[in-house]
């Protein structure tokens, strides 16, 4: 049947203007063809950009995590997107470690386990603006970062210019089969109030 219509089905109206006739192929108006071409071109451009997205490489498992490796991976990722480096904050790391361990113990990936993020960071002694990225099941830090980059909300947090510091931790479930990652970002409250 292709792009042609036969018989009574052929007369479809778009406003007051027929877009098909009974004797020829259905053909969109020139304006619609240009719009489709523009959308196709934009889509291909986005697909090409997605193929060239920076993804960290390496095999940093929870057992081999160190502050220097974490800083290197996170800041290399941010640099690839033109963002300033973050500093490491031990208070945020403590809050992240406590949360990662609790998620591993319960076998649940959740932002509210053990209280809200604000409650958890305040208990750790941190009082700035915060946000959190969590991941579960990734066997390496690099894979967790990759998954965060592939999620719009997590990517926005990871690359936000309003954050200046972070803490990151991972924990393994009791059976050692699943890893839980918690990354807590911090920054000045003023940066969020006066962007």
**46 and 79: one domain?**
no
**102 and 156: one domain?**
yes
For 145, the token pair is: 């970062």
Q: What is the mean pLDDT of residues 90-104?
A: 96
**82 and 25: one domain?**
no
Cα angle 26-27-29, degrees, rounded to a multiple of 5: 140
**138 lies in a domain?**
yes
**102 and 18: one domain?**
no
**42 and 69: one domain?**
no
Choose between 7 and 95: higher pLDDT.
95
**126 and 167: one domain?**
yes
Task: Give the pLDDT confidence score for residue 195 in this predicted structure.
Answer: 57
**Is the model's pTM score more than 0.75?**
no
Task: Give the pLDDT confidence score for residue 59 in this predicted structure.
Answer: 64
Angstrom CA distances, 169 to 2, 77, 176, stand at 56, 17, 16
* 55-74 pLDDT tens trace: 555 566 666 778 999 999 99
* 168-183 pLDDT tens trace: 999 998 777 799 999 9
**1 lies in a domain?**
no
What range does the domain containing 31 cover?
A: 7-51
Residue 107 has pLDDT above 80, yes or no: yes
Total domains in the chain come to: 2
CATH of the domain at 104: 3.40.33.10
**34 and 120: one domain?**
no
**2 lies in a domain?**
no
**26 and 78: one domain?**
no
**42 and 68: one domain?**
no
Residue 21 has pLDDT above 50, yes or no: no
**30 and 91: one domain?**
no
- DSSP readout, the chain? -TTB--GGGG--EETTEES--SSSB----HHHHHHHHHHHHHHHHHHHHHHT---------GGG--HHHHHHHHHHHHHHTTPPPPEE-HHHHHHHHHHHHHHHHHT---SSTTS-HHHHHHHTT--SEEEEEEEES-SSHHHHHHHHHTSHHHHHHHT-TT--EEEEEEEE-TTS--EEEEEEEEE-HHHHH--
**144 and 185: one domain?**
yes
Q: What is the mean pLDDT of residues 42-48?
A: 42
Task: Give the pLDDT confidence score for residue 190 in this predicted structure.
Answer: 81
Q: How confident is the model at residue 191 (pLDDT cuts 50, 70, 90)?
A: confident
Neighbours of 95 (CB within 10 A): 28
Task: Give the pLDDT confidence score for residue 193 in this predicted structure.
Answer: 73
**46 lies in a domain?**
yes
**137 lies in a domain?**
yes
Report the percentage of the chain scoring pLDDT > 70. Answer: 66
**154 lies in a domain?**
yes
**57 lies in a domain?**
no
**121 and 76: one domain?**
yes
**56 lies in a domain?**
no
* 109-133 pLDDT tens trace: 999 998 999 999 999 999 999 999 9
């Amino acid at each position: 049947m292709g792009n042609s219509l036969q018989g009574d089905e052929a007369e479809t109206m778009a406003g007051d203007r027929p877009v098909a006739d009974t004797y020829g192929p259905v053909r969109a108006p020139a304006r619609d063809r240009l719009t489709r071409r523009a959308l196709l071109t934009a889509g291909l451009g986005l697909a090409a950009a997605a193929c060239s997205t920076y993804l960290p490489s390496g095999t940093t498992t929870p057992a081999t995590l160190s502050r220097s490796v974490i800083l290197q991976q996170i800041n290399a990722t941010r640099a690839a997107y033109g963002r300033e480096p973050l500093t490491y904050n031990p208070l945020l790391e403590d809050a992240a470690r406590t949360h990662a361990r609790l998620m591993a113990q319960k076998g649940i990936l959740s932002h509210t386990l053990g209280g809200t993020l604000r409650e958890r960071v305040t208990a750790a002694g941190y009082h700035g603006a915060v946000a959190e990225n969590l991941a579960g099941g990734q066997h390496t830090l690099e894979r967790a970062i990759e998954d965060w980059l592939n999620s719009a909300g997590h990517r926005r947090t990871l690359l936000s210019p309003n954050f200046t510091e972070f803490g990151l931790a991972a924990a393994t479930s009791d059976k050692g089969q699943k890893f839980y990652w918690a990354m807590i970002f911090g920054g000045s409250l003023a940066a969020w109030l006066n962007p």
